[in-house]
Amino acid sequence: MTPSRTPHRLLPLLLAATATATTLLLTGTGTATAADPPLRDLATTKGKVIGTAVTGNKLTGTYGDLAGTQFNSLTPGNAMKWESVEPTRGTYNWTEADQIVNFAQAHNQQVRGHTLVWHSQNPGWLTNGTWTPTQLTGILQDHITTEVTRYKGKLAAWDVVNEPFNEDGTYRSTIWSNNLGTDYIAQALTWARAADPTTKLYINDYNVEGVNAKSTALYNLVKSLKERGIPIDGVGLQAHLILGQYPSSLQQNIQRFADLGVDVAITELDIRMQLPATDAKLTQQAADYKAVMGACVAVTRCVGVTVWGFTDSDSWIPDVFDGYGAATPYTENFSPKPAYYAIAQAFGGTPSTEGCTASYSVPSQWNTGFTGQVTITCSAGRSLSSWKVSWTYGAGQQVTQAWNANCTQAGAAVTCVNASYNGTVPSGGSVSFGFNGTWSGSNPVPTVTLG
Ligand code: XIL
């Protein structure tokens, strides 16, 4: 083989020998890089939380392992909703909510309480009853006080009010706004603060991620609550997004809430796609996830991101949006998807090399020298935008010159990174680089590491 000799960083030993004598082909396969740290550790380095909605009775086995190790915040997906905790008036069932809070404490995780005042998932006795405004006020105050007091000191935040607005920024017509007027929001916040003065009190809504009529209505509400001295600590942007429809004003919107003096959390992130999922869609989804994460990382008062279910097997999307799914960072079988690695990267993790391998071969060898070659190959659906390959020689070999990569050797340790022009390893494709080296005695193939 006749490699093209491009400039290199190694001090070249003049290679007198030409690669003619013996031609050997020795190969060894490198393994993918060691896994990145868990998402929660990466998030911590950025001062953020990474959370997931969970279902209490699933918190065992692989689901429990991943929920406990990858995330540092949990939100009960349904367990703290009114219909769950008080299905019959005066009869409380805290089983699942307690289970989640206990799991979180055992795993050193925060909990976001979700949710106290909503138009949906209320018990029948409440929605079917006939109440005077005074009675309804009493019922709501009692509900908030009971539930917030039960978890007093244990929750980082409460979604006190959920989804109060219509798309055009008017108040949604609900049992609360219709009977109590829109100041039920201020009252709910005030009662929640009285029951637990330390937990952060949020208003949470969907389609308020970008700057639009609905998010502006929320902005104006928060501004007026602040001016009135009503306790409001944060705004939750649910972020139930559609593939390829990342709201480009997300960061600007987060920033304007932060500038009002409240925290912002992305509370229910998922990015749904029309099924079936394809490699192209999963790649787009990863880009969308990364953009959302990046917007939060960029704003100090964005406290973090919670995904609404971390596995496609625990996502509400297929049940509610016909033909859509694959919205979370893990497959139904708990394999991390490109979106998982995108989240890791947004928190400063190194790009994943999963699905890509490096192999080392010696196409030619002669009395004191040899030519080596490393090929990096990615399977379909995987790609790299940059690469690094390293190995340690076991028999005193010394790289003298490399092409199509920048290589350095320190002692026995060799590290090669891509040249400016060949960082991309395409899906289902490969990139090779070559080098010359010296050997004596033996020239065993080293184990190479990609990443
Ligand atoms: C969803 C749950 O994930 C489903 O299991 C349930 O059937 C319906 O509610 N906005 C919210 C969440 O604030 O509480 C909703 O959760 C999803 C939309």
How is the chain split into domains, by residue range?
21-28+353-450, 39-346
With a 6 A CB cut-off, is 408 part of the ligand 1 pocket?
no
Give the nearest ligand 1 atom to 206 CA: 10
162 lines ligand 1 (CB under 6 A): yes
Is the beta carbon of 268 within 6 A of some atom in ligand 1? yes
Mutation pick for ligand 1 pocket among 55, 57, 78 (CB with most ligand atoms within 8 Å): 78
Buried b (16+ CB within 10 A) or exposed e, 290-326: bbbbebbbebebbbbbbbbbbbbebbbbbeeeeebbb
Long-range contacts of residues 393-399, Cβ cutoff 8 Å, at least 24 apart = 393/446, 394/444, 394/446, 395/439, 395/441, 395/442, 395/443, 395/444, 396/439, 396/440, 396/441, 397/370, 397/437, 397/438, 397/439, 397/443, 398/437, 398/438, 399/10, 399/372, 399/435, 399/436, 399/437
| DSSP-derived 3-state class of residue 11 | coil
- Centre of ligand 1 to C-alpha 76, Å, is 10
Q: How far is CA 235 from CA 91, 242, 335, in A?
A: 31, 21, 32
DSSP one-letter code for 313: G
CB 337 within 8 A of CB 331: yes
Euclidean distance between CA atoms 311 and 333, whole angstroms: 8
Ligand 1 neighbourhood includes 316 CB (under 6 angstroms): yes
Ligand 1 atom closest to Cα of residue 319? 7
Inter-residue contact 241 to 206 (CB < 8 Å): no
Answer whether 404's CB lies under 8 Å from 397's CB: no
Res 22: pLDDT: 36
d(CA 302, CA 318): 29
Catalytic residue among 86, 96, 147, 163: 163
CA 420 to ligand 1 centroid distance, Å? 47
410 contacts: CB under 8 Å, gap ≥ 6: none
Per the annotation, the verdict on 332 as an active-site residue is no
Alpha-carbon distance 233 to 15, whole Å? Answer: 69
pLDDT given for residue 35 in this prediction: 56
Using the mean position of ligand 1's atoms as its centre, give its distance from the Cα of residue 271 in Å: 14
CA-CA-CA-CA torsion sign (6, 9, 13, 17): negative
pLDDT of residue 285: 97
Rounded CA separation 31/108 (Å): 33
Pairing of strands 398-403, 263-274: unpaired
Ligand 1 binding pocket includes 336 (Cβ within 6 Å): no
Residue tagged active-site, from 86, 96, 209, 268: 268
Q: Which atom of ligand 1 is nearest to the CA of 316?
A: 3
Most informative mutation of 118, 268, 270 for ligand 1 (most atoms within 8 A of CB): 268
| Distance from C-alpha of 293 to C-alpha of 297, rounded to nearest angstrom | 6
**Any ligand 1 atom below 6 A from CB of 321:** no
CA angle 137, 174, 218 (to 5 degrees): 95
Q: Is 249 in the pocket of ligand 1 (CB under 6 A)?
A: no
Q: Which atom of ligand 1 is nearest to the CA of 308?
A: 3
Per-residue burial over 204-243, b if 16 or more Cβ lie within 10 Å, else e, is bbbbbbbbbebbebbbebbbebeeeebbbbbbbbbbbbeb
Residue having the nearest C-alpha atom to atom 5 of ligand 1: 316
Residue 64: CB atoms within 10 A of its CB come to 14
Fold that domain 39-346 belongs to in CATH: TIM Barrel (3.20.20)
> Residues 357-390, buried b or exposed e (16+ Cβ, 10 A)?
bbbbbbbbbbeebbbbbbbbbbeeebbbeebbbb
C-beta 449 within 6 A of ligand 1: no
Per-residue pLDDT of the chain (451 residues; tens, 9 = 90+): 334 333 444 433 333 333 333 334 444 332 223 357 999 999 999 999 999 999 999 999 999 999 999 999 999 999 999 999 999 999 999 999 999 999 999 999 999 999 999 999 999 999 999 999 999 999 999 999 999 999 999 999 999 999 999 999 999 999 999 999 999 999 999 999 999 999 999 999 999 999 999 999 999 999 999 999 999 999 999 999 999 999 999 999 999 999 999 999 999 999 999 999 998 999 999 999 999 999 999 999 999 999 999 999 999 999 999 999 999 999 999 999 999 999 999 999 877 787 899 999 999 999 999 999 999 998 877 778 778 999 999 999 999 999 999 999 999 999 999 998 988 888 788 999 999 999 999 999 999 999 8
Q: Give all strands of the β-sheet with 388-392 in edge-to-edge order.
A: 31-32, 448-450, 388-392, 413-418, 405-410
- Quote the ligand 1 centre to 346 CA distance (angstroms): 26
Interval between CA 298 and ligand 1 midpoint (Å): 28
Q: Is the CB of 55 under 6 A from ligand 1?
A: no
Cis peptide bond upstream of 60, omega within 30: no
Q: Are 368 and 429 in contact (CB under 8 A)?
A: no
The pLDDT, as a whole number, for residue 425 is 85
Q: Please give the distance of CA 256 from its chain centroid, rounded to a whole number.
A: 23
Ligand 1 pocket member 75 (CB < 6 A): no
Both tokens assigned to 386: 């940059």
- Which CATH architecture best describes the domain 21-28+353-450? Sandwich (2.60)
Query: What pLDDT is attached to residue 26?
Result: 47
Would residue 96 show up in a list of annotated catalytic residues for this protein?
no
